[in-house]
Chain A
Amino acid sequence: MSNEVEETNSLKLVTPGHASSETEGRSVDAGPGDADCSPDGRVPYMMSQIQETLQTLDTAVDTILGKVEELHSKYEREGLAENPVLDACREITFACCFHDLCSQRLNIVLKSLEEFGDELTDGSNGTREEASILASVGESETRSATQDVQGGGSLLNGPAMTGEGLSQEDVDELLKSFEEFN
């Protein structure tokens, strides 16, 4: 397969959708080709890459779960409830939680990029400060009850980073303390 490699700004850029192969040195898919390498052009490009990744994840997980379900039904029909293959099916099924978690993280990045892109666009018509004020006004208007609870910060933060957030054991302890208190 031949890639459409072009020389731009001393980097070899590979046209999106084509895998980078050969080359000594730096052959990377670093941006939207020579179409638009300005920040205004790169933000939509990065967003489209993430959207493509989300789509790929959807398709892959759909295939994995479909095949696991087929396998599970087959072994269950054969009355092999304790079969190790069924255990593996269960584990694979729950491992697919990664789809939700990764998609949530990618959507957070996507939303930030969108806001960043809006700020860039607004910034070209007004000042950055004006754009920032407009963005924060829009944000406050779309707050839900979830975000306003207890008047504190947002309760929609998505998956915690490794080492942050509560574990299931912490949550169980916390809920138990409520029961004891009541």
Chain B
Amino acid sequence: MAVDKNMPVLIVDDYSSMLRIIRNLLFELGFKNITEATDGREALKKLNRDAYGLIISDWNMEPMSGYDLLVAVRKDEQMKKTPFIMVTAESKVENVVAAREAGVDNYIIKPFNGATLKQKMKRVIGDF
């Protein structure tokens, strides 16, 4: 089944430039329903208010990290199945393992390019 490009996507990063980079690519891919948050806590508030079809989050943010957001999302009955892609500069094995064990669907290392993000999105939400 084709992906509904009108689905709401939540992007989370504490750097406005990263939000802009990811938003621009999503727009180009046809995803126009995009919401932004600058840390896990703000993202969680938005997730509690609305349902999202995909979360793309950074790891290293304050006060609530992307990892803590992932754990909170997976614990919540309503949102635990929401696809979650981590986009981060944290590139140690233990980070990837911890994220995987917490239930991340895919993991992108910064710096990245449009092709990588598109490819990982397809793996997580299906072809579009």
B residues engaging A (CB < 8 A)?
Answer: 13, 15-18, 20-21, 24-25, 28, 58-60, 64-65, 67-68, 71, 89-98, 100, 106-114, 116
Contact = CB atoms under 8 A, between A and B. Distances in A.
Contacts of A166: 91-93, 96, 109
Contacts of A156: 59-60, 65, 90
29 contacts: A58-B17, A65-B17, A65-B20, A65-B21, A90-B114, A91-B113, A93-B24, A93-B25, A96-B21, A101-B89, A104-B60, A145-B65, A145-B71, A146-B65, A149-B98, A155-B95, A156-B59, A156-B65, A157-B92, A158-B89, A159-B89, A160-B91, A165-B91, A165-B92, A166-B92, A166-B93, A166-B96, A166-B109, A168-B108
Q: Decide if the interface of chain A is mainly helix, strand, loop or mixed.
A: helix
A154 B24 CA distance: 32
Contact of B98 (A72, A100, A150, A168): A150
A99 interface: yes
Given A65-B20, A65-B21, A152 B91 contact: no
Contacts of B96: 166, 171, 174-175
Contacts of A165: 91-92, 109
A144 interface: yes
7 tightest A-B CB contacts, nearest first: A165-B91, A97-B111, A159-B89, A146-B65, A99-B17, A100-B15, A146-B67
